Each structure stands twice: as C-alpha cells, then as structure tokens.
Amino acid sequence: MKTEAERQQALMAAILRRDDGASLHEWVAARPAGVTRGLQAYQANAGASAERALAAAYPTVQALVGEDSFAALSRAFWHAEPPARGDLAQFGAGLPAFIAASDQLADVPYLADVALLDWHLAESERALDAQIEAETLHQLTEVDPAQLHLLLMPGVAVLLSDYPIVSLWKAHRPVGDAAEHRTIARQRLDHGQGEEAVVWRLGWRAQADIVDAATARWMQSLLKGESLAAAFEHAGASFEFEPWLVQALQQQWLWRAMAETA
C-alpha cells in the first residue's frame, strides 16, 4: 500500500512539474516514449480541467483579460497552487492573491479585487440553504443591544475596494444594461472611486450590489459576530437601522436574531 501511494504521489509530481517522468524512475526504469506521451496527456487534461473550473468561478476576470490570457493565467495558477481536493468546484480560492502578486498583471490593479468579488459570488451559490427565522426578530425590542446579535444568511459577504468592482461585474454580466455599467465603471476608474459591495444569494443565483460605507461597516460587524451595540458604534452616526432592516428582509440578507445566554 505504501509503495502504491508513493507511486501515485510520484505520478502527481510528474504531472504538476510537467517533467518527462523523471520522478517515476523507480517504477518505470526505461521510460519509453509512451510514458512521456501519457504524462503529456494527463498534463493537458488536468490543465484544461483547471481552466474550466476557474472560468466558472471567475467569469468577470475572464471577460476582462480575454479567453487566451485567462487560459494562460489559469495554467500558471494551477502549477503554482495545484488542487488540494478532488472537487474542482472548490479550486481557486487563492487566485485573487495570485493575481495581486503578479508583476505581469500590475497594469490591471483592480483585477485582484474583481477576482475576490467573483470568488465570493461563487461561494455564495454554494452556501448552505437557510430560511429567515422571523419569529426571533421580536428580540429587537426586548433584548439589550449589547446582548443581541443579528445573523446574516449563509453566503452573505461584504467587500471594500478602492475600485468600482460591482460596476465592473455588472458591466460584464449577460443580463442588464451592460453598456451603461461599462460607462459607470470607466468613469469611476478614471476618478479613482471605489465601491463597497455586498454579496448574497437570492433564490439560486448570487447577487452583488453597492452599499454605502456605513452599511458596509455595519454588516462587517454583524459578520464578525459583534453585538448590535458594537455594530452600531462601528457603523457610525450616519447609519440608519430601519431602512437597512427593510432592505435586509426584502433582499434576504437577514437570517435571525440571537440573544446571548448567561
């Protein structure tokens, strides 16, 4: 069993290093041409699978850089950070950081943040299903805010960016007025305007929209598990709770209220 495991590890090392089978020398002494051709086939198939998985998770990044450049990026990332799990749907969490560290992509400074938004959208669609527990909301009028927490739905995330990431995402969606959003995104890039984004799932589809800075701070506090009192403090005086609560119920951001137990 140990020998078989070692052979499999050597095979994976050969594929990931794109070598000619040198790491398999203990099991294939002569290394005939068939071994090299087999490894090349494995490498090509694995690289193509990684590219398809990343394209599904990062459609906006692919649209921004083009299919050929995205294919090259996908394969470079696959060799740098190969899949650690069998489920390729989980592959790619490190791509935003990989993009941010790439000298070749330095002329597209917003790409890493767009990639992060893409990933959170993909994660939101994989999040566990949950239904709002409306019966818990009576605690909003009965429990000390210092002892009360609001839990957001699984898949909700908040991102703060120096770039107009939501506008860029909307500009490359197959629905909506893409031309209008391209104009908005271009103007905001030219003026150095960033956006605060909220990500959530409505039905089966992940959504993203812009929120103001106070709302972003408020929701970040809730996601960290802070009490309502702490969240109000972090949100600041400009935050208005009642309009947010209405929106949170309409958009299915809010899951339940939960009081601290003694």
* Entry pTM: 0.82
Instruction: Write out pLDDT tens, residues 215-250.
Output: 999 999 999 999 999 999 999 999 999 999 999 999
Answer whether residue 171 is part of any domain.
yes
User: Quick one: pLDDT at residue 177?
Assistant: 84
Cβ atoms within 10 Å, residue 99: 24
Residue 162 token pair: 């120096």
Three-state DSSP at 211 gives strand
d(CA 124, CA 205) in angstroms, rounded, equals 8
One-letter amino acid for residue 154 of the chain:
P
Say what percent of the chain tops pLDDT 70.
Answer: 78
Answer whether residue 150 is part of any domain.
yes
Three-state DSSP at 103 gives helix
User: Quick one: pLDDT at residue 75?
Assistant: 86
Whether residues 74 and 25 share a domain: the answer is yes
Structural domain count of the chain = 2
User: Quick one: pLDDT at residue 1?
Assistant: 45
Answer whether residue 40 is part of any domain.
yes
Q: Where are the beta strands (DSSP E) in the chain?
A: 148-152, 157-161, 195-202, 205-211, 254-259
Higher pLDDT residue, 190 or 7? Answer: 190
Residue 1 token pair: 């069993």
Domain that holds residue 67: 1-108
Say what percent of the chain tops pLDDT 90.
Answer: 68
User: Quick one: pLDDT at residue 19?
Assistant: 47
Average pLDDT over residues 87-105: 87
User: Quick one: pLDDT at residue 261?
Assistant: 79
Instruction: Give the angle 50-82-9 at the CA atoms, nearest 5°.
Output: 120
User: Quick one: pLDDT at residue 80?
Assistant: 85
Q: What is the mean pLDDT of the chain?
A: 85
